[in-house]
Homo-oligomer: A and B are copies of this chain.
Amino acid sequence: MELLKKRIVQDGNTIGNDVVKVDMFLNHQIDVELLNEIGKEFRKRFSSDKITKIVTIEASGIGIACIVAQYFGVPVIFAKKGANRNVGDNLYKADVYSFTKGTTTTIGISKDYLSKNDHVLIVDDFMANGKAVHGLLNILNQAGATVEGIGIVIEKGFQPGGDSLRSLGYKVESLAVIKSIDDGNIIFG
Contact = CB atoms under 8 A, between A and B. Distances in A.
A84 B100 contact: yes
Given A85-B101, A100-B85, A75 B29 contact: yes
Contact of A78 (B59, B65, B74, B110): B59
A26 B47 CA distance: 26
Interface in A133-154: none
Nearest to A68: B32
A30 B100 contact: no
A60 to B, nearest CB: 8
A182 interface: no
A35 to B, nearest CB: 7
A16 to B, nearest CB: 12
Contacts of A112: 23-24
Contacts of A116: none
Nearest to A15: B86
Given A59-B62, A66-B35, A66-B63, A86 B29 contact: no
A67 interface: yes
A28 interface: yes
Contacts of A32: 66, 69-70, 74-76
B30 A86 contact: no
Nearest to A114: B29
Contacts of A59: 58-59, 62, 78, 80-81
Interface in A64-101: 65-67, 69-70, 74-78, 80-81, 84-87, 100-101
Given A25-B75, A29-B110, 18 more contacts: A21-B86, A23-B112, A24-B112, A28-B78, A28-B80, A29-B75, A30-B62, A30-B66, A30-B77, A32-B66, A35-B66, A58-B59, A59-B59, A63-B66, A63-B76, A67-B70, A84-B100, A84-B101
